[in-house]
Chain A
Amino acid sequence: MNAWQRFRSSYLLYSFKRDPVAVLSFSVFFFLVTVAFLAPVIAPYNPYDTTAFDILDGEIPPSWMEGGEKHFWLGTDIQGRDLYSTMLYGLRTSVIIGLGAVIFQSIVGIVIGMMSGYLGGRVDSFFMRVADIQFSIPYLIVAIIASAVFQLAFGVGRFEQLAMPLLILIIGMSEWPKYARTVRASVLGEKNKEYVEAARVIGLNSRLIMFRHILPNTMTPVLVISTIQVAQAVMSEAALSFLGLGMPITKPSLGSLINAGFEYVFSGSWWITFFPGLLLVIFTLVIILFGDWLRDVLNPKLYKG
């Protein structure tokens, strides 16, 4: 059977279909991601287009409230941008950074973890020392400081231009040790198994053994931590943007929107913070719920083989 057929008949899919929480959270997640990527198509306005909005339209409440206007469904922000459209684009930004950062940290972490676990010796000591050092400082502080340093180094303007890839890099670098450690532990466990010895006896080189034979067997723990990491990356980006160290207000993410709306919460324009906040919470929540389910399903069963 090929991989797809194996998946279709797997226990994983079976228990997925039977668990309402898993199905619901995955569907919502999938829906939100799709909507986010279709933002340019769906959104009634383009928030990046500075000619499309007018500051006189600022702070209009949601359409169902007094003073609201029909074409601004959820109201507008302080600069007159349609909140709904800006939120969609913001979601897209969050998704890209979240997934991008996780892909980055997982690739770096997996490669280092594999080399560390398989080659052992000095390579292992070196990388694990580095990981230990990075582990002593919480990922968020690393990200915040890195961000601050980049902002000072590049100046605010240039930083804004490079914000998205920079954030992916920063958030990615702050969490690779987690992947490295997990993979390394897995590799250490697999290294002594017979199929590895068999491969060595046949004469396969290290790289081949590492990536084609051992790697697939270490994917389970990687998968389990990846979902949480995506949620964490999204929240880290939101936090950075909220502090002004992330996405700028011209290309806002959900975090920067919340930040922008913060001062206006008390003067009555609560929606600018509320709706992006709500969207962020829902998005993070479904990722976490799905991750929880995935972890429960993968944990005892697959470790037994």
Chain B
Amino acid sequence: MFAFIVRRIIQSILVMLVISFVGFSVQHSIGDPVRDMVGIRVSAADREALRDKLGLNDPFWIQYVRFLKNALHGDLGTSYFHSKPTMDVILSKAPATLELVFGSSIIILVFTFPLGIYSALKPRSWLSRFVMGASTVGVAVPVFLTAIALIYVFGVELNWLPAYGRGETVNVWGWDSGMLTLDGIKHLILPSVALSSIMLPLYIRLIRSEMMEVLETEYIKFAWAKGLHRSRIWFVHAFKNTLLPVVTVFGVEIGILFAFTLLTETVFQWQGMGFMFLEAVERSDTALLVAYLMVVGGMFVVINTLVDIVYGFINPMVRIAGAK
């Protein structure tokens, strides 16, 4: 098991290096820190001098190493628009996105397993049919349409829930949380529902089909032949086997959830990392863009590694293979 974890971690470091290389290449070719710093009125000669001083005329590899060193120290450059270190900007926007993802994850967890398992165990009931039908349609509806529809129905027509922004936030040790006030929580509801609408149909369908497949296996039939209680067969034998593939997919899909926060944040004017990224694009703020790439890339690598390790714990067969 230990060997397996070590291999996984080495692999993730490798991936991070690649991501950093890509990020740096982008910055190197597109960004122009000198222009960002001093504008266009400075003479060409002065600009050259500045470039030399900043080390911008050094060979590619030297600059790359410098970039890496800075990155490891937490310095990913300075955002030209915000006039602040990019890390600061990102960290200030991160809580918003994280809370949004958190809110959606809760909704997803609460609804997908029960609904998915129920549809697998009782496929002919009207609830199952309704859930499956809604899920199929749900997969086809893009998140931004759901978001717009939600805003229109709940925000404008019925006026039950606020339609944009985060509402009141409370600063707890540097973390701007919207979850500590009722107003903040109300603002969190619609965006979380919108975001979860991507994953809900997918997961419900996945859990249902996995469960149904497991229920047809020989070992489940054997469990019946052994005379075990129905609940044990369903929730211990079948469920554990369903969990395995679902967990792997879940890990990957968390990443997609993050990707879709971009879309959700635009619709709801939610001041998170995604919204910040799109603004950076509009303003040609290359440094911020690259920093976002690094942070988000790094985050995915960490999540994937964690998921693989957790999967290794649940699935005994992987452990043995990894140790060899």
Q: Which residues of A contact B (CB under 8 A)?
A: 129, 132-133, 135-141, 144-145, 148-149, 151-153, 231, 235, 238-239, 242-245, 258, 262, 265-266, 270, 273, 277, 280-282, 284-285, 288-289, 292
Contact = CB atoms under 8 A, between A and B. Distances in A.
A250 B194 CA distance: 29
Contact of B152 (A132, A244, A245, A265): A265
29 contacts: A129-B14, A132-B15, A133-B18, A133-B19, A136-B304, A137-B296, A138-B255, A138-B259, A138-B300, A140-B256, A140-B260, A140-B262, A141-B258, A141-B300, A144-B262, A145-B293, A148-B281, A242-B263, A243-B263, A243-B266, A245-B281, A265-B148, A266-B151, A266-B152, A266-B156, A285-B137, A285-B140, A289-B136, A292-B136
A12 B186 CA distance: 51
A23 B166 CA distance: 46
B4 to A, nearest CB: 16
User: Which A-B residue pairs are the 9 nearest by beta carbons?
Assistant: A285-B140, A140-B259, A284-B140, A138-B255, A141-B259, A138-B256, A138-B259, A148-B281, A277-B145
Do most interface residues of chain B lie in helix, strand or loop, or is the interface mixed? helix
Which of A135, A141, A285, A292 has the largest number of chain B CB atoms within 10 A?
A141
Contacts of A149: 26, 30, 289
Interface residues of B, number: 44
Contacts of B145: 258, 277, 280-281
Contacts of B152: 265-266, 270
Interface of B: 11, 14-15, 18-19, 26, 29-30, 136-137, 139-145, 148, 151-152, 156, 252, 255-256, 258-260, 262-263, 266-267, 277-278, 281-282, 284, 286, 289, 293, 296-297, 300-301, 304
Contact of A231 (B140, B259, B263, B284): B140
B256 A151 contact: no
A137 B141 contact: no
Contact of B296 (A141, A239, A273): A141
Given A145-B293, A148-B281, A148-B289, A242 B144 contact: yes
Contacts of B259: 138, 140-141, 144
Nearest to A149: B26
B255 A137 contact: yes
A280 B142 contact: yes
Contacts of B286: 152
Given A132-B15, A137-B297, A262-B148, A239 B142 contact: yes
Given A138-B259, A231-B140, A262 B15 contact: no
B148 A288 contact: no
B300 A137 contact: yes
B198 to A, nearest CB: 10
Given A262-B267, A284-B142, 19 more contacts: A129-B14, A136-B15, A136-B304, A137-B300, A138-B256, A141-B262, A145-B293, A148-B289, A152-B30, A152-B284, A152-B286, A239-B263, A242-B144, A258-B145, A265-B156, A266-B156, A280-B145, A284-B141, A292-B136
A235 B142 contact: yes
Which of B11, B26, B252, B259 has the largest number of chain A CB atoms within 10 A?
B259
B288 to A, nearest CB: 11
Which of A231, A243, A265 has the largest number of chain B CB atoms within 10 A?
A243
B257 to A, nearest CB: 9
Contacts of B296: 137, 141
A284 B201 CA distance: 14
